Every structure is written in structure tokens, then in C-alpha cells.
Structure 1
Amino acid sequence: MSFTIAQVVTEKEKANFLKVAHDIYILDNNWIAPLNKQIHNIFEPAKNSYFEHGCARRWILKNAEGESIGRIAAFIDNDKKKNNQLHAGGVGFFECINDQCAANLLFDTARTWLEENHVAAMDGPINFGENDRFWGLLVEGFTEPPFTTNYNHPYYRQLFENYGFKDYYEMTSNVIDLEKPLDERFERIWSRVKEKNNVQFRHPQKKELNVFAQHFKEIYNEAWQFHEEYKPITETRALKFAKEIRVLFIRKMIPFAFIGDEPAAFLICTPDLNQIFKEFKGHIGPFQLLKFLWRSRNDFAWYRKRGILTKGHAIAIGVKPKFQQCGLETGMIMSSLEDVRKLGFKSIELRWAGDFNPKINRLHSAVGAVRARKHITYRFIFDKNREFKRYKPISMERSRIG
């Protein structure tokens, strides 16, 4: 079978890049189309700040009949380049029919471009942006995915591994069933935490999101410092994140812990908008957007009262290292638990427990969370003589929650 591959340049090709995914999953009832505009904006320099320190390309693969049968994107984030460390680019938004030759051509094309730009490896599938969305290859849990969570066909794993990609790190997502009581030890820890007069749990107001951004930035930059690919979050990025959260904002799902007046920890949960967006099939026009915004008032009351919105997901949890023995993780969960239940939420998915982070995995286990899905982030090193190393584990003594 012959294939042709071409870079995405025109508006028509950009639309076709989005359409490829719809064609690949046309018979898969578990796939929920990401919002086309959200994917489109990732590759628009005016919309994505990562273009300030990086670049990206996209390609579409066609068969002999001219039908689009695959796609891939490649990108370089120069902020991740560090002295004496392997400089890895990324590939993502990969879709392909079940054909190894087709997949190899997509991977080869991305690799060639990355090598021409002096990159030594490619990680994938990843996002040209934050790693809390569109990250990793799904290998377990082929059910309806939460919002911005990668979903793919099971055969994609063979396409990646047969090409030569190796398991760089694994990320599990685990679900707390809110209709079941938590372990009694959490009640005991919660009682002890409440007895400490200098510990407070606060939930930000929507009108205070600038303050939220400052607290988030302060905690994040201390909590993530031992991460192998850590780079400090800037005030601009923190404010952008706060603006994004505004659309998803349910106050009682975002607890912050304070020791005295010092921000010490955060737990950021959002409603799973895929329960709402599923019917949109990736397209959200002006009328649909207005209807969504209207129905999202009062903590998404319209959707909750009709049983449409019952799931949430924790997208980030962080605790400053010096406060990691204070029970703040438990305190944040317990400070919100009853209110979240009263809002009609039946489950919370705790996302992205990396296998390199023993502390977050221990926390997921302690709250009785059950595995829902697993993603793998792969790495392919271009120089076959260079040693492959998995992502560096974070020691228990220095690990952070996140």
C-alpha cells in the first residue's frame, strides 16, 4: 500500500487534521471528541504561549485513494533544554489506521524534522503545552475519558512499541467512589488536623482568581522543585491557568490549605466537562457556547439537577515540602467532601499518578481510589548507542504531591 504525507499549512488542511480523529473513531462509542477549537488553538502562535520558546509542525497521511488515514504533530520546547541533558522534542495528536507501515511513516517524518532542529529524542504522545492535558498513550481503561484526557485505540501501543519507543514513565488515574464512606483513618487524621489552630482550609471566590493565581504559583514552585523536568511557573502562566479554571470553577472543589497566613497546599478539582461536551462531537458554535455558559451558572446547577454532571477530576495537588507531614492532603479532601457530595457528584478521578512519584501513589491508595486507566509516556532516542534511562524517581524524602 502506498502513502503520501504532507505538512499542514492551509486552513483546509488544518480542518482536515481535526477530521482525521473523527474518522478514526467513527465506530468507537467510548471516544469523546475533544473540542476542535481547543486542539486548533494549540497550534496557533497567538493562542499558545509555548510558541514563545518553541515551535511545532503537523502532518496528514493519505492512502493511494487520497483518503486521510493518519496524522501527527511534532514540537520543540526550548525551555526544557538543559546543559548536559538529553534534549527531547515531542510528538502528539497521533492518529492512525492499524497499519505499522503507515505509523512508521508518520513517526519517521516527525523524527526527521526534530533531528533537523538538533533534537536528540522524541517523547510521545505528549502535548505542546501543559502536561495536565492530552498527555500519554492509553494502555488500560478504554472507557469514556475525562475532559482533555487522551483516548486511543488499543492497537496504538503496538504501533509505538514496534517502532522502537520505550516506556519512559507510566501514569495511573484512580477513582474515588463518593457514594462509599472513606476509610476511618481519614476521619481520625481529619480530627487531628482540625485541632491544629494554625491550619485553615479556604475555598477561593471566583472574583479572587488573581489571588488564587499567586497562591497557586507560590505552592507549585516549591512543591514541584524536585521534578526532573521542573521549570518554575511564571506569574503570566499562573494567571492564564486561573482564567482557564474560571470556566470550570466550582468553589468547594478547590480547597487551599494555609498554615497561619502562609499558603501551604492546594487541591484543584474540576467537573468532567466531557459528560456535557460528548453530544457536541467536537463542534461548539456560538449558540451552543451561550447555552453552555447559561446552564453552567450556579456551579453547573442545570446539569447537576438533571444528573448529566456527576463526575469530577482532580487535575493538580501540591503541598510545600516543609508541610508534607501535616496531614494537609487529607484535610483538603475532607474539607470539601460533604459539600461535593451534596452537589451531586458521585466520583472524583485522581489523575496522573506517575510511577516515579511514590508519595502520590501512596495517597491514591490510602483514600481507597481504584484504578480507572493507565497512560504511558514513551521516549525514542535517535542515537541507538546512547543509553536509555527511564524518568528519574522522586525519593520519599524529597517527593512532593502532584
Structure 2
Amino acid sequence: MKVEKVVTNKHKIEFLAFPARLFSGDSNYIRPLDKDIDGVFDPKRNKFFRFGECERFLFLNDQKVVVGKIAVFINKKYKQKQPTGGFGFFDCIDEEETANFIFDFAKNWLQQKGMEAMDGPINFGERDKFWGLLTEGFSEPLYAMNYNAPYYKKLFENYGFQVYFNQLCFGRKIHNPVADKFLEMHERISKNKAISAKRMKVKNLEKFAIDFTEIYNKAWANHGEGKQLTNAQTLKLFLTLKPVINEHISWFVYENEKPIAMWMNIPDLNQWFKYLNGKFGILQKLKFLLMKKLTKNKKMVGLVFGIVPEWQKKGIDGFMIWEGTKHFRKATDFEDYEMQWIGDFNPKMMKIAESLETEVTRKLATYRFLFDREKEFERHPVL
């Protein structure tokens, strides 16, 4: 087996192209945008290079044909019980010997950096993108979600990886009946004249960013691994989302104009990007804009659902769900709803997902491998 570090343009192109060849016969595979993958490995675009390092490698057989690839990295802010490195963007043919060679290579690279364990497949970045191995629900992936063949699970577990935590996605059909309890909540809360629901509109983006920040910081930032957001950070995020915001599917609830709850959703971008073959140049951008106007996107993705503590368990969730649902059923073509993944270490968020009358649509796993095989393995602590 020959190993080539990704340094040349030819290497970089092959790193992007290999999965597309590997899954060419899989109708569910959607090639990620090249720019999104490239951005992970660009020190100018990825802040994690400030406190870590990352390298990519291609693996070739004796016939000089690429049979696998991987990225390996260390992140000084990734605090674990033992020094733990990461790897991601792993792809490999269905051959255990080849996979073991790649895993051994990653292990040795990380050991040389002082690591005692490795997690994967994860991202050299935040958890919201390219994180986890798909183990159940082999349907079209959501935007920036990992996708792999079913045999990957066998390759990981036969090597000795163990599940550090599972990542669950929840979804439902938009036109399925809404539970009576939500309708009852809606009817009761509607009698309170101080409560109102508003859908997010682009012309008032700055106001909604401020409202989002207030709700988020009260509802989630102090829970588990949450982080406080600033208005500037939220506005920057909203401006990034602006081109794909659908004004019918994100909702805020107010008490006398004070924000108390929000339900943020966007269209699933992969329903458009799957026609671009990973490219996003001028022609593809024009095609994307044209498809947005002419092609019906039937899937929406849940980003955040939050209620300030003083209004939790009082029926605001049912009020907001039915206000939003009855509107976007009429105003949009969406048929399916799926939430971004929730870790099984977060029962509070899982309970919220279940309360929305969803069911598990897919499961991914974050695996861990301890280099000391005698050391006791521990799963991610429950929040």
C-alpha cells in the first residue's frame, strides 16, 4: 500500500473525486460541495488551525489506484479524559485489510502527536457538519451531513472502534395529523392576548437575530455544552442563511413583544445541490438560483427549537407548532421535515424532538478507539 500526502492540486482533486466514484452506483449519494470540503482544510477559512493541525492522505494499491482516503487532526480545544485526536473524511473500498491499514496509519500519526485515543469520523471543525458514521437510515443525506455505505460500520467495529455516542435524526411527514394535545395547547394559549406568533421575514432580519440570541441564551446556552451567543454572531449567521431563508417556515413567539420561543427551519439545500455534482462556480450558482424558483423543494430541516425557561411546559410549544404548521402547509410545497442530529447523551433535546411527534429517521455514530486496549472504555457522559 502506498501513502501519498495531499499537497498538490492533483491530490486535492482526487481527495474530492474518490467518494463520487466509490458511490457512483448509489442513488442516495449526494456529492458535497467541493468548496465546503476545501474550506475545512484551508487555514484562512478554518479557525481550528489556530489551535490544531490537520493533514490529508490518499492510499493507493499496487496498481497505483486510489482505494481510500482520510484526514487526521489534533485540536487542543477538544478536551477529553485522555488526549484524543480525530480523523474524518474517511472513505475506503469494502476491504478490511485496506481499512485496517488506513486506521493503523491514523493511529500512528496521532500517537506521534501525543494522543492516546482517536474519535471518528468527525470534522476538523464544529459538530454541525461532516460528523459521524451513518449506521441506519441510508437515505439522501441532509446538507453537510456525512454519508457512507453500510459496510463502513463493519470496517470500524471489526477494527475495534466502539460507539462513543449515537447521533439521532428525527423527522415526520408535514401533513400527518397533529396531536390533539398540541391543538388543545394552541386553543388555550390563543386566548391569552399577550401572546403572538410571527414568521421570520428577511426585511427584519436584524430584529429576529436579536430575538433569537435572547431566546437561545436563556433556553440553551447554559445547558450542557452550550455557548453564549452575541447579537453580532447571530446576525452573521442569519446573513449567511439569507439566500436560502424561506419566510414561511421559521417562527417566533412573543409575550407583549418580548421574545419567548423560536422554531428555526430552512429548506434542505441538498435537494438543490444534488444536481450540481459538487461544483458551485458561476454557472452552478445561476443553476441553483433557477432551481430555487422552478424546482419544488419538498424537504425542510429543523435547526433550532427553543423556549425560555419561564414559559417551558406551559403549552407554548403546541401553540408555536400549530401556528407554524397550519401556515406552511398552505403556503409551501414541503412534505417532509427532518431535524439535524441530536446526541443520545442529551435526553432533554431528544425529549423535545419526540414531543414534536417525530420518529427516528437515521442514526449516525461517533466512534472512539483507545490506543491502550486494556483501558476501560467510557461512553460520552449524559448531560
TM-score (norm 2): 0.90
Deviation per residue, 1:67-104 (Å, 9 max, x gap): 1111111233333337xx43433211111001122112
Quick one: structure 1 residues 311 and 126, their matched pair in 2 at CA, closer, same or farther if it must change by over 3 Å?
same
Name 1:355's counterpart in structure 2: 344
Aligned counterparts of 1:282 and 1:244: Cα–Cα separation in 2: 19
Distance 1:311 1:79, change over 3 A: same
Tell me which of 119, 123, 126 is aligned to 2:119: 123
In 2, distance between residues paired with 1:318 and 1:209?
18
- Alpha carbons of 1:280 and 1:363: their partners in 2 closer, same or farther (altered >3 Å)? same
Taking a change above 3 Å as real, the CA distance of residues 116 and 392 of structure 1, as seen in their structure-2 partners, is same
Who is 2:360 aligned against? 371
Correspondent of 1:389 among 372, 378, 383 = 378
Q: What is the one-letter code of the residue matched to 1:45?
A: P
Which residue of the partner structure matches residue 257 of structure 1?
A: 253
Deviations 1:354-378 (A, max 9, x none): 2222233333333332322111111
* Aligned partner of 2:144 among 137, 143, 148: 148
- Asked if structure 2 preserves the Cα contact closer than 8 Å seen for 1:228 and 1:391, the reply is no
Q: Which of 180, 183, 205 is the equivalent residue of 1:184?
A: 180
Asked if the contact 1:31–1:151 (Cα under 8 Å) also holds between the matched residues in 2, the reply is: yes
Alpha-carbon distance between aligned partners in 1 of 2:53 and 2:226, rounded to the nearest angstrom: 20
Structure 2 CA distance, aligned partners of 1:183 and 1:235?
35
Partner of 1:302: 294
Matched-pair contact (CA < 8 Å) for 1:80–1:229: no
Bigger mean CA deviation after superposition, 45-54 or 223-232: 223-232
Residue matched to 1:40 = 38
Report which stretch shifted further, 99-108 or 342-351: 99-108
State the Cα distance separating 1:131 from its structure 2 match: 1.7
What displacement does 1:125 show?
A: 1.4
* Deviations 1:98-127, CA, capped at 9 Å, x for gaps: 112211222222223333333332222122
**Larger deviation: 163-172 or 224-233?**
224-233
Q: Does 1:157 align with 2:145?
A: no
> Residue 261 of structure 1: CA displacement?
4.6
Measure how far apart 1:295 and its partner are: 4.6
Is the CA contact (8 Å cut-off) linking 2:272 and 2:291 kept in structure 1? no
Between 1:97-106 and 1:235-244, the stretch displaced more is 235-244
- Give deviations 1:12-67, integer Å, cap 9, x for gaps: 21111001111210111111111112111121122223333333221111111111
Partner of 2:306: 318
Q: Does 1:338 align with 2:326?
A: yes
SS at match of 1:37: helix
Residues 1-12 of structure 1 mapped to structure 2, 5 A cutoff: 3-12=1-10
Which range moved further: 382-391 or 206-215? 206-215
Q: What corresponds to 1:137 in structure 2?
A: 133
SS of the aligned residue for 1:123 comes to: strand
State the aligned residue count: 382
Which of 68, 89, 99 in structure 2 is aligned with 1:103?
99
The CA distance in 1 between the partners of 2:309 and 2:116, in whole Å, is 33
**In 2, are the aligned partners of 1:125 and 1:135 still within 8 Å (CA)?**
yes
Paired residue type of 1:356: F
Q: 1:106 to 1:193 in 2, by over 3 A?
A: farther
Quick check: 1:190–1:330 contact (8 Å CA) kept in 2?
yes
Q: 1:241 to 1:78 in 2, by over 3 A?
A: farther
1:66–1:32 Cα change, 3 Å: same
User: 1:233: how far off?
Assistant: 4.4
Deviation at 1:178, TM superposition (A): 1.4
Relative distance call for 1:294 and 1:187 in structure 2 (3 A) is same
**Inter-partner Cα distance in structure 1 for 2:206 and 2:199:** 14
Which amino acid in 2 is paired with 1:181? P
Match of 1:209? Answer: 205
8 Å contact from structure 1 (residues 176, 370) kept in 2: yes
How has the CA–CA distance of structure 1 residues 111 and 265 changed in structure 2, closer, same or farther, with 3 Å as cutoff? farther
Letter in 1 for 2:327: D
TM-score of the aligned structures, taking structure 1 as reference length:
0.86
When structure 1 is superposed on structure 2, of 315-324 and 28-37 the one drifting more is: 315-324
